[in-house]
Amino acid sequence: MRDSFQELNSRFRRLSIALALILIVSGLIAGAAFARESRRVIIQQQEDNLFDIAKSTDRNVANLIKRCQDEVFYLSNRNDFAQAETMYLRDGASSNLWFWLRDNTMNLSKLNSAIIAIEDGHTVLSSHMEYLMDYSFYSELGSDILKLCIAPNGEYYLAFMFRSPAGNLQYAALMDLPAFYRQIAGNELAEGDSILLFNEEFNLLVSNDGDEVRVDRPGDPDAKVWNENGIKVMRSFLENRTERTGAFEFTDINEDSYTECVAIYPVRGNDNGIFTVAVATPYDMMIQPLSRINMILILCGLVIVAGLALLIYDILLLNQERAVSNRKVEELRRENESMEQLMRTTQELEHVQRLEMIGTMTSGIAHEFNNLLTPIMGYSIMTLEKIPEEDSELSENIIEIYNASRKAKDVIRRLSELSRKNVSATMVKLSPDDVIRKVWETALPAKPKTVEPQIRTEAGGWMFSANETQITQVLLNLVINAFHAMEETGGTLQLLTRAVNVTNEVVFQISDTGTGIPEEILPHIFDPFFTTKEAGKGTGLGLAIAKNVVDQYHGTISVKSEPGKGSTFTVRLPGIRPEQSSQSPAEGEKAEENPGTVDISG
């Protein structure tokens, strides 16, 4: 009882530990999967947001450029404007032309700084006198109408180039590039975000550095991303020519690395047709929500672990209380087991004594029966000799009496051998096939009517060395046990002998289709005094002694059983090959003397 309880408790602890480990590992795997999925979802949402900003910025750029181009087109196609230009070139009168440059709808916008008139590369007239200077114009924007303009003081402008119908002077509507950038960015940018505008050749970049608007060109020594790594990344965007988002590593002018998530809307696929629009945000800021989620998960995990720890602590306390209460029960159980063991031992000793008495009585009874059968057999022979030859029926009857007496005497002889205490332990060469037949003849009277035998003798000329009485007792005990297993349900008993050339063994196999042996009992069936039979029906010594005999012969005995399907006992003994069995031992049939006698009649 105690062993069962301890084993159950041990199993429960192992299962609890295994379950805890499984829960922990499952929790870690689920947490990691949730973190990965959250990271993917958050990054995807952020990338989608960046791309939406890029598209919105592109629409703003396209609207501003189109609006300015429409106003330039309106002004450049006015005949009055062309007449004012002609008067200026012919008479040198600049008032009318200056009026057209000054008073038009373009100058109403805060983005338009001035409109200048250019002749032979020099600025000859300006709508605002502070802008009357010579400017440098560049074609980085890939358009003859819209050019990059740089003032002598280093300020950048977008120049919308046009001519009047007369076509004598060239005009440029100057739009302040930083103001243009602020206008298109509007309220789209969050803290840390930046909008990048760069042309198709990637030799112009407009971006923000905090609140400052930067305009960078390849020749600028302090350009924001005009280092080797930045150029490589940006050009990969242009070569791709498709909408793209992703995280990229940049290196600033101080060789410090930083990662940004960038959404690209390339010039060849967007609405403005001048600038590629890119929106970038620091990668660390983008995944801040994920960091908060991870922190929450960790806190939840700590709370769960704390709860589990408290639960385990309570369970341990309950186990301690249970252990204290079980100690007294255990002491009482031990005392009860001691008394039961003493009673079982007493009963077993009494049973052994009864078996010894039965053995002694059997020997005496066998002797008396022999005395009775001897005259029956003798007088049968004498009577048979005196019967006339023509009286065949009477002769057959006398022969039947003689044969029955001889069989009875043979049975008595076998019973006498089994019950004899001081049996000679001489080892002789035996045939496995002959031994199994003799065992079956001895056991046949005890066979239940519902048992069908199958005997297969396949050992051929192989022999083995053993004491005939002892090995007969071993096999007979196994056969009787098989009878008991099939006593109620019936079945098939199979007796098999064979030889194994590889291991040089002879094999006895006794199989039944009875009730089988439960798995929990199998390890104990060869223990002394272990029996599953009712009190008075078994001593628990038969299989123990059988194993002891087989071990003395340097053999093995094993069992395979399945409840409800039957059992198979296999005895393996060292064999003697046919070519060796023909050689007789030094002293007749005797091989060696085995000290002592083993009695397995119980």
Write a three-state SS string for 120-168.
CCEEEEECCHHHCCCCEEECCCCCCCEEEEECCCCCEEEEEEEECCCCC
* The 3-state secondary structure of 194-257, one letter per residue: EEEEECCCCCCEEEEECCEEEEECCCCCCCCCCCHHHHHHHHHHHHHCCCEEEEEEEECCCCCE
Q: What is the mean pLDDT of residues 331-343?
A: 84
- Ranges of each domain in the chain: 1-286, 422-593
Question: Residue 572: which of 496, 510, 508, 512 has the closest Cα?
Answer: 508
Hey, which residues does 149 pair with through a beta bridge?
137, 157
pLDDT at 422: 46
Is the pLDDT reported for residue 499 higher than 90? yes
DSSP state of 587: B
Burial 369-404 (b: 16+ CB within 10 A, else e): beeebeeebeebeeeeeeeeeeeeeeeeebeebbee
Identify the band that residue 314 occupies on the pLDDT scale cut at 50, 70 and 90.
confident
Cα separation of 105 and 63, whole Å?
16
Identify the band that residue 238 occupies on the pLDDT scale cut at 50, 70 and 90.
low
pLDDT at 299: 79
Q: What percent of the chain has pLDDT over 90?
A: 17
pLDDT at 418: 55
Identify the band that residue 494 occupies on the pLDDT scale cut at 50, 70 and 90.
very high
Q: pTM value?
A: 0.45
Q: What is the mean pLDDT of residues 328-345?
A: 83
Is the pLDDT reported for residue 401 higher than 50? yes
Is the pLDDT reported for residue 581 higher than 70? no
- Of residues 483 and 225, more confidence is placed in 483
Cα dihedral 352/357/358/361 (nearest 10): 170
Is the pLDDT reported for residue 601 higher than 60? no
**Minimum mean pLDDT among 29-43, 208-222, 493-507: which range?**
208-222
Class for the domain spanning 422-593:
alpha beta
pLDDT at 587: 39
pLDDT at 233: 62
Output the six-digit token pair for 543: 């299989």
Identify the band that residue 1 occupies on the pLDDT scale cut at 50, 70 and 90.
low
Identify the band that residue 457 occupies on the pLDDT scale cut at 50, 70 and 90.
very high
Q: What percent of the chain has pLDDT over 70?
A: 80
Q: Where are the alpha helices (DSSP H) in 77-111?
A: 79-91, 95-102
Length of the chain: 602
Question: Residue 567: which of 499, 485, 487 has the closest Cα?
Answer: 485
Q: Match 């960046």 to its residue by tokens.
A: 50
Cα separation of 498 and 508, whole Å?
7
Residue type for 156, please? Y
**Minimum mean pLDDT among 166-170, 357-361, 596-600: which range?**
596-600
Is the pLDDT reported for residue 217 higher than 60? yes
Identify the band that residue 591 occupies on the pLDDT scale cut at 50, 70 and 90.
very low
Q: What is the mean pLDDT of residues 396-420?
A: 75
Identify the band that residue 526 occupies on the pLDDT scale cut at 50, 70 and 90.
confident
Q: What is the mean pLDDT of the chain?
A: 79
- Of residues 246 and 340, more confidence is placed in 340
Cα separation of 89 and 94, whole Å?
9
Is the pLDDT reported for residue 439 higher than 80? yes
Cα separation of 291 and 43, whole Å?
12
Q: What is the mean pLDDT of residues 522-548?
A: 73
pLDDT at 4: 65
Q: What is the mean pLDDT of residues 198-221?
A: 74
Cα separation of 586 and 579, whole Å?
17
Ramachandran angles phi, psi of 152, nearest 5°: -60, -30
Q: What is the mean pLDDT of residues 98-125?
A: 85
- Most confident among 113-117, 181-185, 380-384 (mean pLDDT): 113-117
Q: What is the mean pLDDT of residues 580-589?
A: 51
Identify the band that residue 508 occupies on the pLDDT scale cut at 50, 70 and 90.
very high
- Of residues 562 and 165, more confidence is placed in 562
